[in-house]
Amino acid sequence: MNGLEVPKWRRPKYAALTQPLLSQLNWDMAPVVTPDDQLGLDHNLDPACYHDDAFDLYAANQPLLTRFPGLVAPAPDADVRPNLLEWVVRAPAAKKVIRNWEERAIVMANAFLVVAPGRIPQRRIQQIIASCEQAPEWPEISRIRATDEHVLNQRIFLWNPETQRYENRIITAYTFKYPPRPYNVLVLQETAPRN
């Protein structure tokens, strides 16, 4: 993909084209968060969660739920999970707790629209879009294409209810390699040392 000059953050869309071949592999993917994974999430002092390519939550730690009021942890056997993108786009609190809300919402919407197709059932994608369309900002957010500069800037300015100040945090996202899981990891890492 280097030869095609495809931006790195858009490469998962192209990789999704190989998904039919990969789905033939017999991975034993856990349909729910494993106890060991939950333990790792709960021990993280930074806000963190596990989500899929549509931003459906598999699990969230208490620091994340405290920082994102109104977002709830999913039930382990839920048919429809809470969705982080829907919360960012629709929850009135999102614009208050994320100082750079518009930039983060645009990047999330782009990631969803590029990565989810081919990896997430189309019915679920349509449900999320229908929900997000209830926000007046959605047409603009979903129309604007995030630049590489936007995507590579992983800063989020997140409100801390304890200190009553915004904190400069780094968004870190990654996937489990072996064994693969149906969820990715998202951590909002603190940039300053803890006191």
154 to each of 10, 170, 188, how far by Cα in Å?
16, 5, 9
Of the pLDDT bands very low, low, confident and very high (cuts 50, 70, 90), residue 28 is: very low
Q: Contact, 33 vs 41, CB < 8 A?
A: yes
User: Across the beta sheet with 57-60, what order do the strands follow?
Assistant: 57-60, 48-51, 184-190, 165-175, 155-160
Q: Contact, 18 vs 142, CB < 8 A?
A: no
Greater confidence (31 vs 177) lies with: 177
pLDDT digit string, tens, across residues 76-97: 777 889 999 999 999 999 999 9
Distance CA 34, CA 183 (A): 11
- Res 27: pLDDT: 42
165-175 vs 155-160, strand pairing mode:
antiparallel
pLDDT digit string, tens, across residues 108-135: 999 999 999 988 999 999 999 999 999 9
The DSSP secondary structure of 90-107, one letter per residue, reads H-HHHHHHBTTHHHHHHH
Greater confidence (21 vs 71) lies with: 71
pLDDT digit string, tens, across residues 144-157: 998 888 889 999 99
- Per DSSP, which regions of the chain are E strands? 48-51, 57-60, 155-160, 165-175, 184-190
pTM for this entry: 0.82
Residues 12-27, mean pLDDT to the nearest whole number: 54
CB atoms within 10 A of CB 150: 16
Listed in sequence order, the residues at least 6 apart from 152 whose beta carbon sits closer than 8 Å to its beta carbon are 9
Greater confidence (176 vs 128) lies with: 128
Beta partners for 159? 166
User: Is the per-residue pLDDT at 13 higher than 70?
Assistant: no
